[in-house]
Structure 1
Amino acid sequence: MGYPEDVLAPDEQLLLHRHPHWKMLFWPVVTLIVATAVAGFGAGMAARHLEGAARTPVLVAILVVWAIVVVWRCAARIISWKSTHFIITDRRVLIRQGVLTHTGIDIPMSRISSVQFRHGLFDRMLGTGTLIIESSSAEPLEYDDIPQVQRVHALLYHEVFDADRGRSDSGYR
């Protein structure tokens, strides 16, 4: 078993496991392309116009600046995307984030009082949106960039409705 199956209770069923939508990787990819093009241009100019001992430190400096920009603006965002998990089981909603410092929240299905989604024109074109979960004890929680947010909303709504129906059928109120 891999993640997230290893964090589930023995009889808990995984219904959905998603990372945020790929649109959050758009700007890191653009940054990578532009940084590489600028570094390549700078290295080409340095190789063409500088001679001997002056060329090497300039090329190393260009490489170091490129590496810093790529790690800071690209790699960190990709790792953040990959380490963010949105999970729905038959009992709860789990959100996990982080690599070095993990944060997470579990919302039992029985505590969810409302499920909403929001997506504008651009989000609809990409098939993503914001999922809003209201629980009985806190402010609404908003999760951006959920892929196929309408399907996730419908799944979560049906799970909450089935949990409510199960409690009312067994005499609990």
Structure 2
Amino acid sequence: MGIPAKLLGADERVVLSMRTHWKVTVVPVVLLLLTVAAAVTIVVLIPPGQYQQPVRIAVAVLALLGVCVYSLWPLLNWLASTYVLTDRRLITRQGVFTRTGRDIPLTRINDVSSERDVLDRILRCGTLVVWSAGEQGKIVLHDVPRVETVQRTIAELIFAAEDDDGETRRAPAR
């Protein structure tokens, strides 16, 4: 998990590397188990006769299609999505076949906030909202593990970064 070293700048170091919280995999896994159980039950209960084999094949094909669309694809997306915080920027990468990414230099971040509902607090995750001075304005990262730690780490990196003069650099006002 993370980002290849060749994509990091000279002397840039990874501070945090994560993917979305595992809670997003619960529904696809449950659907996988239910689909397989339902397909096996239906295949076993099909009465013998001339249409038994074609109906079994149809059930198996439909179950396989459902598993691919509602279980495997979301799980692959989860595996392929990463959030990386370095000492210079926030990097997001998503997508299985078509990869999309966004890099936000820490010097461009104006505000970082988090949102957590009751379930998020129990599971120690949440939504991180990062406002930047760029064209696109804000980036919303859903289901970030340890969201408050990530928010605090970003703030510490922004305020602790020193420029060439040895002065503490402040985030620009929004």
* TM-score computed with the length of structure 2 as normaliser: 0.89
- Which of 131, 146, 149 is the aligned partner of 2:147? 149
Identity %: 31
Aligned to 2:82: 85
Output aligned runs, 1:37-76, within 5 Å: 37-46=37-46, 49-51=47-49, 53-76=50-73
Deviation of 1:10 after TM superposition, in Å, equals: 2.8
Q: What residue identity is the alignment partner of 1:84?
A: S
Deviation at 1:3, TM superposition (A): 3.5
Alpha-carbon contact 1:18-1:85 (below 8 Å) kept: yes
> Deviation digits for residues 36-86 of structure 1, max 9, x if unmatched?
11101101111xx123x4221111111101100000000000010011010
Instruction: State which of 106, 109, 113 in structure 2 corresponds to 1:112.
Output: 109
Q: Does 1:133 align with 2:130?
A: yes
Please give the root-mean-square deviation of Cα atoms over the aligned residues, in Å: 1.9
Letter in 1 for 2:39: A
Change (3 A) 1:55 1:171: closer
- Contact kept? 1:94, 1:107, Cα under 8 Å: yes
**Structure holding more helix per residue:** 1
Report the equivalent of 1:99: 96
Instruction: Report the alpha carbon displacement of residue 12 of structure 1 after superposing the two structures with TM.
Output: 0.7
Which residue number in structure 2 is paired with residue 20 of structure 1? 20
Partner-residue secondary structure (3-state), 1:10: coil
Q: How far does residue 167 in structure 1 lie from its aligned partner after superposition?
A: 6.5
Q: Secondary structure at the match of 1:12?
A: coil
SS at match of 2:93: strand
TM superposition shift of 1:115? 1.1
Aligned residues: 168
Q: Unpaired runs of 5+ in structure 2? A: none
The 8 Å contact of residues 5 and 14 in structure 1, kept in 2 or not, is answered as: no
Which residue among 140, 155, 158 is the counterpart of 2:156? 158
TM-score normalised by structure 1 residue count: 0.90
Compared CA separation, residues 130 and 168, structure 1 to 2 (3 A): farther
8 Å contact kept, 1:87–1:93: yes
Aligned to 1:34: 34
Distance of 1:156 and 1:171 partners within structure 2: 15
